[in-house]
Amino acid sequence: MPKRKKTAPPQPADPATPQQGVLAALDAIFAPVDRSNAPGLVVGVAHQGRTLYCRGFGMSSIEHATANTPATRMRIGSATKHFTCLAVLLLAEEGLLDVDAPVTRYVPELSELLGAPTLRQLMNHTGGLRCYLDILVSAGGAALQPKGRALSVLAQQTGANFAPGDKQLYCNSGHHLMSKVVDRVAGIPFEDFLQQRIFQPLGMADTVCVPSDMQILPGMATQHVAQLQPGGGIGWRRGILPPEELRGEGSIVSTVGDML
């Protein structure tokens, strides 16, 4: 009697299906914020240079009943600082500035009493400067601040939080000052430098600098702030950052696609 041939055990499904499972899991994670009465977000996932997932959830504007989509523009906040550092490093690579030089070499309006932190120290938040945003909010609350006010406030400071290099403390002042350094060293506005040297070469067509929340930009999400209602529950109000001159510390508006 001939021997019975052994059959191989059944094999698992093609490994392409786990990716579909991951995408479905992402949908499930963000489904709770996919509402028509609350602000949401846009989520993107890329792997090895290829976009695997990009989807909007919830609203970009409750006021105008506009939903988030992959094309929605949003402030990237302090992720702007990475681009500011890149701009400074590009100029340093070209021999036009020295990251280990004191910032006062390029912004002499600052007092020497601040300890003359270097550009490198400003980049890694060890410069010791006081945060101009904290000063402005403490002095004027949410009042809109005119252009040039940030540099004016920093130029008036005669003391620092600590000596440069002694500690690390997150601070917006350093990256605002680096914007001014780029202005002066490159000979063009910081915002134009980012467009010409970073955004355009990288194909970031939907990315721009927006210095003020009073400026209207097509496709840009509204900033929403949660507010408790008198009868209970949560409502929403428009959020506006006070400075009229956000720059290297947080001015960039982009899309998930551009950032991926």
Q: Which residues are catalytic?
A: 78
Distance, CA of 134 to chain centre:
18
CB within 8 Å of 239: residues ≥ 6 apart: 213, 223, 224, 225
**First and final C-alpha spacing in the chain:** 64
Longest dimension (CA), the chain: 101
